[in-house]
């Protein structure tokens, strides 16, 4: 999603929340000191890099998907785990009082389910210290496990398993990669600003065949469909002059996928650091630059909850691919407000796409994320 910009948001929110949770002199703070910088190709290797990168300030594993029941009822879902390091590794010296509660990491998680048939949208968020088994990310024997209390994601050699539940919904899904992971940018190095270190290491599973169970509004469904997973880590803050971003992940019926991230500038327009990736049906990928892409908002939706005015329909054009798509949300109200965790209000929702690639018709499904519309990201957190 996802950009290195989440680093600033999650780390700032986590620092405030940490002090609120434990307080007292000598406790951890979200220091901005000697975190490792990312300034060149990441040379990602798997399964190693599916796991956590604990020296970096912020990291996230981001799942989204479009599912259908046996009767054809549509659902969208999101499950995201964030890790925030509250002090750099070289400041982890001895402390006056050892405690099983003491940890340099906080974990935060968001989950959501959309039901376009009823127009209902449910979401929940959670936060916990990475202590006493309450939350964490671990890697062992080719498997990676993320956990935040009873929410979990397990990346196994051939499958991913997702579990989350709230008072309103429950999901239990198995995801099988149809393609190998795709490294974005230059071998995973994804620039997000003019300085070399304003970047992240970023890759995606762009097509995950998904089956499982979904419970919403007291009803249970067997579902199947496609999911997308982003994994990104960074230590860099949001570059100056940016207010948010628009992110697109589209899975098309010809077996190709498109990811775009558009960094919005305070004075209008998109940053030259914006870009994306096109993944062909055979799994080969092509890097896209800001000059390759034109995205035009065709409609808007105003949230009755936050008052934010979001774009609500888009024309997406990628000139080198002769790609021209109209992207439409499956329902308008897919906004999350997360005062207990990241303290960010954003729109994250399922969408449909229709148009053409070259002379061939194209259609598909995907997800869009819109941040910074309720409040610019340069506002104090």
> Sign of torsion, CA 123 127 131 136?
positive
Higher pLDDT, 30 or 98: 98
In the numeric block, which tokens belong to residue 289? 């630059």
Q: Give the pLDDT confidence score for residue 20 in this predicted structure.
A: 34
In the numeric block, which tokens belong to residue 224? 């199947």
**C-alpha dihedral over 8, 277, 266, 60, to 10 degrees?**
-20
**pLDDT tens digits along 176-213:** 999 999 999 999 999 988 888 899 999 999 999 999 99
Please state, for a pLDDT cut of 70, what percent of the chain lies above it: 87
In the numeric block, which tokens belong to residue 286? 């092509």
Cα–Cα distance for residue pair 62/206, rounded to 1 Å? 12
Cα–Cα distance for residue pair 256/290, rounded to 1 Å? 20
44 HSE (CA, 13 A, CB side): 27
Cα–Cα distance for residue pair 104/161, rounded to 1 Å? 27
- Count the Cβ atoms, other than its own, within 10 Å of residue 360: 8
**pLDDT tens digits along 250-284:** 999 999 999 999 999 999 999 999 999 999 999 99
Alpha helices (H) in the chain, listed in sequence order:
5-22
Please identify which residue in the block is written with the tokens 């630059």. 289
Q: Phi and psi dihedrals of 134, rounded to 5? A: -75, -30
Cα–Cα distance for residue pair 209/53, rounded to 1 Å? 27
Please state, for a pLDDT cut of 90, what percent of the chain lies above it: 76
Whether the Cβ atoms of residue 260 and residue 295 lie closer than 8 Å to each other:
yes
User: Under CATH, what is the fold of the domain 5-40+49-88+101-371?
Assistant: AttH-like fold (2.40.370)
Cα–Cα distance for residue pair 372/354, rounded to 1 Å? 27
**pLDDT tens digits along 76-126:** 999 999 999 988 876 654 444 456 667 889 999 999 999 999 999 999 999
């Amino acid at each position: 999603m996802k950009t290195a910009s989440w680093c600033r948001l999650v780390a700032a929110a986590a620092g405030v929340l940490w002090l609120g949770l434990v307080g007292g002199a000598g406790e951890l703070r979200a220091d901005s000191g000697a975190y490792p910088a990312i300034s060149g190709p990441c040379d990602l290797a798997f399964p190693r890099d599916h796991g956590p990168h604990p020296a970096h300030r912020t990291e996230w594993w981001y799942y989204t998907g479009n599912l259908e029941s046996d009767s054809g009822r549509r659902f969208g879902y999101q499950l995201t785990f964030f890790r925030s390091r509250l002090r750099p590794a070289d400041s982890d010296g001895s402390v006056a009082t050892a405690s099983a509660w003491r940890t340099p990491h906080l974990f935060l998680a968001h989950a959501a389910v959309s039901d376009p048939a009823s127009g209902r949208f449910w979401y929940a968020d959670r936060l916990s210290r990475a202590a006493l088994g309450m939350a964490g990310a671990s890697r062992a024997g080719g498997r990676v496990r993320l956990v935040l209390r009873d929410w979990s994601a397990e990346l196994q050699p051939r499958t991913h398993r997702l579990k989350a539940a709230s008072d309103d919904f429950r999901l239990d899904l198995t995801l099988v990669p149809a393609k190998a992971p795709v490294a974005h940018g230059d071998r995973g190095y994804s620039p997000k600003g003019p300085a070399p270190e304003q970047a992240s290491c970023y890759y995606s599973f762009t097509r995950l065949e998904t089956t499982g169970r979904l419970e919403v509004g007291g009803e249970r469904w067997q579902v199947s469909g496609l999911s997308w997973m982003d994994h990104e880590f960074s230590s860099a803050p949001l570059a100056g002059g940016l207010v948010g971003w628009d992110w697109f992940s589209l899975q098309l019926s010809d077996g190709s996928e498109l990811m775009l991230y558009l960094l919005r500038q305070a004075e209008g327009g998109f940053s030259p650091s914006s870009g994306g990736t096109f993944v062909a049906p055979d799994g080969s990928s092509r890097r896209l630059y800001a000059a390759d892409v034109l995205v035009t908002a065709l409609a808007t939706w105003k949230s009755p909850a936050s008052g934010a005015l979001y774009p609500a329909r888009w024309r997406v054009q990628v000139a080198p691919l002769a790609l021209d798509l109209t992207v439409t949300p499956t329902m308008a109200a897919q906004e999350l407000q997360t005062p207990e965790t990241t303290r960010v209000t954003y729109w994250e929702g399922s969408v449909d796409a229709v148009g053409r690639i070259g002379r061939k018709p194209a259609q598909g499904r995907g997800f869009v994320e819109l941040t910074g519309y309720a409040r610019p990201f340069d506002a104090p957190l």
